Each structure stands twice: as C-alpha cells, then as structure tokens.
Structure 1
C-alpha cells in the first residue's frame, strides 16, 4: 500500500464526520430491519423478507461528497498534492480509493448489525424462509452499493468542491426529482445511480432491472464519475 493511500485512509478513518456517518449507516440498517421485519405485518415472499436487510447507500455517497469537497473548502487538497509530490489526479484517485475501502468497513459493520437483528425477527414469518445463500446475496449487494456510492460521492465532491451545494443538489435529486421521473418512466429512474443502488440493496423489488444489471449500472456510474473527476482535477487550479 502506497504512503499516499495510507495518508488518505488515515484521514477518512479519523474524521468526526466519518464516525457520524458510520453511526448513521448502522442505525439505519438496524431500524430498517426492525420496521420491515417486525412492523410491516407478515412477510410471505422472499423479496419482501430481503428488504429487511437493505441499507441506505445514499448516506455513503453523502459522506464521500462531504469529505472530498471538504478538502477544498478547508484548503487541504493543495498541501496534500505538494507534500506527496504526485500529480493532482493521482492524489484524488488515492482519496477516492480510501473512501471506497473505508466504506467497505462501514458496510461490513452495517450488514452485520442488520443481519443480527433481521434474522431472528423473520424466523416466524409465513412462507419460505431465507437461505444462507439468499442472505449472503443481499449482504454482497449492500456492500457493493456502499462502496460504489462512496466512490461516486468522492468523485462528485471533487468536482463540486462546495459541500453544502453538493449535498443539497444530491438530496433534491434523490428525494424529489427521481420520484417524479419514476412516476413517468420507471425504467429511466432505475438506470440512475440511486435507483440502481436501491435494487442492488433489495430495498425495492418488482423493478425493470435485475439485481445483476443494477450492479453493472451502479459500477458504470462510479467508474464514469471517477474518470471525469480525475481528468477535470488535472486540468484546473487546485487552490
């Protein structure tokens, strides 16, 4: 592991905002498990039961956005590039990788917590029980969505550079614009990073995309945003 990546990992793992988002992601996972498994009545379909394990990847996107944009707000991005002696795009790429790795750790903790709560609560529900493979599939989907969402957030943050603006736009798109699009064309909403991530985490079902296709869609968005952000970082002033 390079010293540059170690330094970025240290920053992502020790900031107060990181701990706040960790608590938020885990708390949502537990709350969702309780609400879906215990307060939604009898669940007799596999897809309905899998919703009890769903996470909220948009929180990891917000975390990556706030953290990456904060580097410019607090004017720490320029010193990081100067001290490392590497070009600005490489520094940003290491930062994005650090958020991805830290998001994986957060995801593992969230999945473990939600699974520990959901499994016993679902035990007495009618219909077929979830197999270990089905639970593992949901867990893998959540982890993938968390990691890819953190990558997208960090990439967007590097391009926007203003945390408040990025957060407001992201929330408006996710909670206001996307539902309107879904009402007109569900397939278009499913192709967005938010809609595909929801399918990947199993927080929604009976959609126009399969879970596998949704994973490819989210990955494509993450790669595209990372490439654009690194390319734009190399072309503009870092200050």
Structure 2
C-alpha cells in the first residue's frame, strides 16, 4: 500500500496540471485579498477581515476532479491497478489519499500568500485587529476545506471519468444553480458542499451555519462521495 501511495503521489506532484493549479490558486488568492482588503472600503468587523484571508476551495475541488478523471481519459487507471496488485478500490483510495496530501502543499502556498499579503493590508483598517487565534482559525478552516474539496474532486472525477464533463457540471452548479437556490433558501445552500466549504474557508459570514457545522457538513459530503466512488470502481471496467 505504501508503494502504491508513493506512486500516486509522484503522479499528482509531477504533472503540469498541479503546477497550473498552483499558479492559479496563488493568483486568485492575491486577487481575493486585494478586492476584499483594498477595494471593498473600510473593514471594521472581524468576519469581514477574515474574508480577506480566505481562498477558493473550489479550485482544489476542480484540481482533484481533473486529475482523477484524467486517469481514465489517458487510460492510466487500468495499468495502475494491474501493476499495483491491490485491486481497483484500493488503488482509487490510494489516489484519493495522494490528492489529499498534495492539497496540503497547494493549500499551504495559498494560505501563505493570503496571510503574507493580507495581514499587512488589514492592519490599516479600523475596528478590532485579527489576533493570533483568529488567524490560526482562518488558516485551519482553509486547510480543512482544501483537503476535503480535493478529496471530493477526486471522487467525482472517478465517478464521471471525464474532466471536461466534470468541470462543466461543477461550474454550472456553482455559478448558476447555487445562486438561484440562495435567492430563496440560503439555509439550504449552506448545506451543499460549495456552501459549506465557503463558510469553512470564511468566504461567507453572517450565515445560518456555524463554522464547526460547516466542517461536519463538508466531511459528510466527502465521505458519501468517496464511498460511492469506491463502490462504483469495483463494478465498472477501468478501460
């Protein structure tokens, strides 16, 4: 199992995809900090300042989806299972764990950028300053959201097996369906993976869902998707 995980880690860390998402994650993190901390006017409340330090968990979800689905598109999933000799579900589980571990690296880059750029910019705003406990809580929430989002993305990628289809569906749901639902049922929106991840990463505040509850909601969605992906992997052809 260790050798299988090592092989999956090598694949996730050495493809051009991971470097592209790393650069994209850093760019969007910088953009978020600048928009919230510089272009949104004075921030005099702690939740508003925490939002300036948040990142975009959906990027890690898309990265996990594109990478895992690409295994089937490029027909590398079957050889990996055959060479590993541990069965389809175990191979997919190792792949999912590899994406979770790699998400810690990508997330670390994004959090470092948000804190390094955001904290100096927030120092000039009125109201209470973010303390060490506040900064730690924001960073921790982002890390948890990053890892769970990457795991969900890998599970969805294994289910759909098409990077293009997966990306299109997720973008439609996130930018079209969720906003429509939010207009009339905000509480329901927060119970979706996208809403829970946003609350956990502090992208959303003044919501009906607490940060701790958002973590449990996101974990429940992640566990469900992983269980379904592993069950389906056992019953479907890899080629």
TM-score range, shorter chain: over 0.9
Alignment partners' CA distance in 1, 2:138 and 2:79: 41
> What is the CA-CA distance between 1:175 and the residue it aligns to?
0.5
> What is the CA-CA distance between 1:223 and the residue it aligns to?
0.9
- Please state whether the residue corresponding to 1:238 is helix, strand or coil: coil
> What is the CA-CA distance between 1:193 and the residue it aligns to?
0.2
1:101 corresponds to: 101
Alignment partners' CA distance in 1, 2:29 and 2:57: 10
- Please state whether the residue corresponding to 1:184 is helix, strand or coil: coil
- Please state whether the residue corresponding to 2:136 is helix, strand or coil: helix
Alignment partners' CA distance in 1, 2:200 and 2:21: 20
Cα RMSD over matched residues? Answer: 0.8
Q: How many residues align?
A: 239
Alignment partners' CA distance in 2, 1:219 and 1:27: 27
> What is the CA-CA distance between 1:109 and the residue it aligns to?
1.0
**Structure 2 unmatched runs, 5+:** none
1:238 aligned onto 2:229? no
- Please state whether the residue corresponding to 2:94 is helix, strand or coil: helix
Q: How do 1:1-239 and structure 2 match up within 5 A?
A: 2-239=2-239
Alignment partners' CA distance in 2, 1:188 and 1:182: 8
- Please state whether the residue corresponding to 2:229 is helix, strand or coil: helix
Alignment partners' CA distance in 2, 1:228 and 1:147: 18
Query: TM (normalized to structure 2)?
Result: 0.99
Query: TM (normalized to structure 1)?
Result: 0.99
- Structure 1 runs (4+) deviating above 4 angstroms are none
